[in-house]
Amino acid sequence: MTSGVTVSDDSTKERAPSIRDVARLAGVSHQTVSRVLNNHASIRDSTKARVLAVIEELQYRPNRAARALSRGRSRTIGVLSASSAEYGPASSIAAIQDAARDAGYFVNTANLNRGEPGSIAAAVDHLMSQSVEGIVVIAPQVQVFNALKLLSIDVPFVTLQSSGNVDANALTVDQIAGARLATRHLIDLGHRDIYHLAGPQDWIEAEARMHGFLEEMGAREVPTTAPILGDWTAQFGYHAGRELLHVRDFTAIFSSNDQMALGLMHAIREAGLEVPRDVSIVGFDDIPEAAHFWPPLTTVRQDFAELGRRCVALLLANIAGTTAENQGAIMPELIVRGSTARPAF
Amino acid sequence: MTSGVTVSDDSTKERAPSIRDVARLAGVSHQTVSRVLNNHASIRDSTKARVLAVIEELQYRPNRAARALSRGRSRTIGVLSASSAEYGPASSIAAIQDAARDAGYFVNTANLNRGEPGSIAAAVDHLMSQSVEGIVVIAPQVQVFNALKLLSIDVPFVTLQSSGNVDANALTVDQIAGARLATRHLIDLGHRDIYHLAGPQDWIEAEARMHGFLEEMGAREVPTTAPILGDWTAQFGYHAGRELLHVRDFTAIFSSNDQMALGLMHAIREAGLEVPRDVSIVGFDDIPEAAHFWPPLTTVRQDFAELGRRCVALLLANIAGTTAENQGAIMPELIVRGSTARPAF
DNA sequence: CGAAGTCATGTGCACGGTCACAAATTGGCC
DNA sequence: GGCCAATTTGTGACCGTGCACATGACTTCG
């Protein structure tokens, strides 16, 4: 740890300069300074220059708390996030922060990772006590939405995933389309015995991907088996893989994310089989590592960053009361790599 | 997107209830309400109960901006972060947020990911304009520290990595020790021709790991070659691997993180060689996927979450002016898996 | 029983901005 | 030169909370 250069050596704890200090030195009223700060229209250039000079000299910074108090607006948006350490959410959060900052907003994040009971309410409470103007929900689990409804949040909120219902304002990567792409790819290769390793049932996107899988299978009249419900981790994929290999009545598996796909491949190889010779695998997300798995993983790419950006745009429009133009769903993209091939027989 | 239940249907835009509204309904002064909120000592139980009842009834929430303004403290800490989408930083950030929240603090993050020039100053500015009380630097690059010094930040800050110099207050995972563990493991297995794939030179932790590697090699009197400087990505590891295989005068590689190790293994396998038969690989970080790489990766585990927690503890102590007890460096742990073995000959 | 001390509560102002409105200055035009 | 309008600047109140100090009620004790 390196301590900051603590300048407050002098006896009195000097408060930061205020708008009035600037006003005094510039020989104007505090209101004029305020106008310069908010670059109001009718300010004489010479006055403006003088004020700006003093601001520079005093190293003046507007006090956000005071501004928020008097304007009644915090200029802060909240992010409600689960598993924020994972690639997808983390990328989106970063994008959200950048986009918000560009729009002059601040971001405050509350995590849901920990002990469940009351956790959602507590997190929302944390955000609300920041008087956020809007919330981005990045933990699209059913219970979160229920909790949000129950708490009757009185600020607008958007989510990175469709809540399932058709919504005129839906902002989302089209998970169903993505899952269908993956499934179609396997069917087109000639696979007929395809398993689906799904995400946790209460995750909206997991459900959507499962739906997409089932839809495509149905449309192509390929008989389906019940999906296995996982927890997104490579660990689970590995164990699920070991279980599945006892049966071995499949030639391909579509995994609902890349991590579980990795675990699956681990289990398969450990059993002496080979991907894609014996089993084809498709993942979902296209995490940066996926291209270097062995074999490199065929997967469905989502643009998390773009998602985050659009999300902020939509939320801010909502806050402003503007009717947001619905840019429609972002289309995911199938990335074909080495983990899929025609079935062996 | 699902819009929140917008309650503000009524004509007038009702302001949230204030401490005085509560006071009026409870038949006390606003100051009494304030005392209840800050659970001040001398308040009659009956009064307290009455006030609390009104608070509940009115759904009253303290206004953070007003509180910050009047107390002159924002109760917010800032996080300055690069590559916040990666596993290590992301985990630490999550832990920081949780710890801060438990301590009644809010967290604000500024990313450095984007276009470099002025980016650091801008990010710091963003945080300072939030009047954060302290900053956690999670982007331990040399230039960031230089920028921090130049900007003469007047709030305490801590970093997740030692700045290299021995510092009485250093808070860090001992990167050097970790790197030595990894290197020792390879030497103990019998390897003598060991390469090191380092992280970006300007990253303090990358430099520390490189140092640890060189120290251990020196201590064991194993001749060394110049480390290769990478950029943390699997992509780079892959390309570096391909280059290295033109020479093939090594039996083991110590990679400065797991992603680059993954890329290395990809390149090695693609060249028809096998890990660990032909080349042993050690990584660093122990990302959750590492256990399911092929082969499962031998690596050095860091407890990012613990790091984040301690970091907040230290920073808050610093803010409070308390002398922080230095808990010393966190020791990393060598996790031996399948990617290392005795050299073939 | 009165003085001194503790406890419980109230009063008024400060924090650093913004807002609504008023006042001063400027310029154009007859 | 005087009048009106537009431009530029100033005045005072207010946002919601905490702090310092004042006040009144109730104890304690010699």
* pLDDT exceeds cutoff 50 at A4: no
Task: Check CB contact under 8 Å for A2 and B98.
Answer: no
Residue B73 DSSP one-character state: -
Distance between the alpha carbon (CA) of A32 and the C1' atom of C22, Å: 15
CATH number at residue A111: 3.40.50.2300
Residues A107 and B109: beta-carbon distance below 8 Å: yes
B114 strand C contact, CB < 7 Å:
no
Query: Based on the domain organization, do B268 and B201 belong to the same domain?
Result: yes
Element (H, E) at A228: strand A228-229
**Inside any domain, residue B345:** no
Q: Under a CB-based contact definition with an 8 Å cutoff, are residues B291 and B337 in contact?
A: yes
Contact B65 A61 (CB under 8 A): no
For B134, the closest chain A residue by CA position comes to: A4
* Cα–Cα distance measured from residue A153 to residue B264, given in angstroms and rounded to the nearest whole number: 49
* Interval A130-151: pLDDT, tens: 889 999 888 777 777 777 777 7
In chain A, residues with a C-beta closer than 8 Å to the C-beta of B128 are 61
Residues B83, B43 within the same domain: no
Q: Which of A72, A148, A288 minimises the CB distance to B234?
A: A288
Question: What are the tens digits of pLDDT across the range A14-56?
Answer: 678 999 999 999 999 999 999 999 988 888 999 999 999 999 9
> B121 and B43, same structural domain?
no
- Residue A129 with chain B: CB contacts under 8 Å: 61-62, 64
Q: Is position B4 within any domain? A: no
**Is A334 domain-assigned?**
no
B73 touches strand D (CB under 7 A): no
Q: How far is A68 from chain B (nearest CA, A)?
A: 6
Q: In strand C, which positions have an atom below 7 A from any protein CB?
A: 7-12, 14-20
Per-residue pLDDT, averaged over A299-322, amounts to: 89
**Residue A2 predicted with pLDDT over 70:** no
B1 has pLDDT over 50: no
Residues of chain A with Cβ-Cβ distance to B158 below 8 Å are 1-2
pLDDT at B71 over 80: yes
Distance B69 CA to D8 C1' (A): 31
Q: What is the pLDDT of residue B168?
A: 45
CA(B31)–C1'(D21) in Å? 13
A199 and A84 in a common domain = no
Cα B29 from Cα B50, distance rounded (Å): 12
Reported pTM = 0.88
Tell me how close the Cα of A183 comes to any Cα of chain B, in angstroms.
Answer: 24
Q: Give, as ranges, the nucleotides of chain D with any atom within 7 Å of a protein CB.
A: 7-12, 14-20
Residue with tokens 């006055």: A47
| Cβ of residue B62 lies below 7 Å from strand D | yes
| Distance from chain centroid for Cα A294 | 27
Q: In the numeric block, which tokens belong to residue B289?
A: 């996927």
Confirm whether A342 is domain-assigned. Answer: no
Q: Does a structural domain hold residue A264?
A: yes
Question: Do B188 and B294 belong together in one domain?
Answer: yes
Supply the DSSP symbol for A104: T
Q: What share of chain A is helix, strand, coil (3-state, %, to 5)?
A: 45, 15, 40
Residue type present at position B268: I
Residue B308: strand pairing partners: none
Above 70 in pLDDT, residue B281?
Answer: yes
Asked if A267 and A273 touch (Cβ cutoff 8 Å), the reply is no
Considering only alpha carbons, which residue of chain A is nearest residue B7?
A: A154
Q: How far is CA A312 from CA A101, A105, A152, A205, B116, in A?
A: 10, 10, 21, 19, 23
Structure tokens belonging to residue A306 = 């773009």
For residue A44, give the CATH number of its domain: 1.10.260.40
Q: How far is CA A245 from the centre of its chain?
A: 34
pLDDT (0 to 100) of residue B152: 66
Q: Do A289 and A215 share a domain, yes or no? A: yes
Confirm whether B342 is domain-assigned: no
Q: Is the bond into A295 cis (omega within 30 degrees of 0)?
A: yes
Residues B119 and B54 in one domain: no
Average pLDDT of span B129-147: 83
Residue B6 has a pLDDT of 33
Question: Strand C closer than 7 Å to the CB of A18?
Answer: yes
- For residue B295, what is the nearest residue in chain A, using CA coordinates? A266
Boundary of a domain, candidates B27, B62, B97: B62
Mutation target to probe the A interface, by most A beta carbons within 10 A, among B75, B146, B292, B310 is: B292
Q: What is the mean pLDDT of chain B?
A: 87
CA distance B342 to chain A (A): 21
- Answer for B31: CB within 7 Å of strand C: yes
Residue A106 lies in a domain: yes
How many angstroms from the chain centroid is the CA of residue B99? 13
3-state secondary structure string across chain A: CCCCCCCCCCCCCCCCCCHHHHHHHHCCCHHHHHHHHCCCCCCCHHHHHHHHHHHHHHCCCCCHHHHHHHHCCCCEEEEEECCCCCHHHHHHHHHHHHHHHHCCCEEEEEECCCCCCCHHHHHHHHHHCCCCCEEEECCCEHHHHHHHHHHCCCCCEEECCCCCCCCCCCCCECHHHHHHHHHHHHHHHCCCCEEEEECCCCEHHHHHHHHHHHHHHHHCCCCCCCCEECCCCHHHHHHHHHHHHHHCCCCEEEECCHHHHHHHHHHHHHCCCCCCCCCEEECCECCHHHHHCCCCCEEEECCHHHHHHHHHHHHHHHHHCCCCCCCCCECCEEECCCCCCCCCC
pLDDT score for B325: 66
Kindly state whether residues B279 and B294 are assigned to the same domain.
yes
* A44 within 8 A of B194, measured Cβ to Cβ: no
Q: How far apart are the first and last CA of chain A?
A: 62
Is residue B38's beta carbon less than 7 angstroms from any atom in nucleic acid strand D?
Answer: yes
The Cα B3–Cα A152 span in angstroms is: 11
Host domain of residue B104 = 72-171+305-320
Instruction: Choose the closest CB to B129 out of A1, A61, A109.
Output: A61
Q: What is the pLDDT of residues B215-241, one digit of tens each?
A: 999 999 999 999 999 999 999 999 999
Q: Where are the beta strands (DSSP E) in chain B?
A: 76-81, 106-111, 134-137, 157-159, 194-198, 228-229, 252-255, 280-282, 299-301, 333-335
pLDDT value of residue B164 = 52
Q: Are A314 and A294 contained in the same domain?
A: no
Distance CA B80, CA A7 (A): 21
- Residue B49 contacts strand C, CB under 7 A: no
Regarding whether B242 and B211 lie in a shared domain, the answer is yes
The count of domains in chain A is 3
Instruction: Please check whether residues B282 and B309 belong to one and the same domain.
Output: no
Compute the average pLDDT of residues A152-172: 66
Specify the pLDDT at position B117.
63
- In this predicted structure, the answer to whether residue B4 has a pLDDT above a threshold of 50 is no
CB–CB contact B259 A289 (8 Å): yes
DSSP lists the bridge partners of residue B159 as B137
Q: Provide φ and ψ at A299, rounded to 5°.
A: -155, 180
Residue B3 has pLDDT above 60, yes or no: no
**Considering the domain boundaries, does residue B332 fall inside one?**
no
List helix spans (H) across B220-275.
234-247, 258-270
| pLDDT tens digits, one per residue of A109-127 | 988 866 666 788 888 888 8
B69 touches strand D (CB under 7 A): yes
Quick one: pLDDT at residue B144? 79
Q: Which of A140-149, B94-103, B202-211, B285-294 has the lowest mean pLDDT?
A: A140-149
Return the SS3 of A119: helix
CB atoms within 10 A of CB A125: 14
For the ranges B6-15, B82-91, B140-149, the maximum mean pLDDT occurs at: B82-91
Distance from CA of A331 to the nearest CA of B (A): 16
User: Under a CB-based contact definition with an 8 Å cutoff, are residues B80 and B110 in contact?
Assistant: yes
Do A110 and A205 lie in a common domain? no
Inter-chain CB proximity A5 and B149 less than 8 Å:
yes
Chain B residues with CB under 8 Å of A266 CB are 292-294, 296
**Cβ <8 Å between A65 and B66:** yes
- Percent of chain A residues topping a pLDDT of 90: 60
- Partner-chain contact A159 B94, CB within 8 Å: no
Is the confidence at residue B11, as pLDDT, over 90? Answer: no
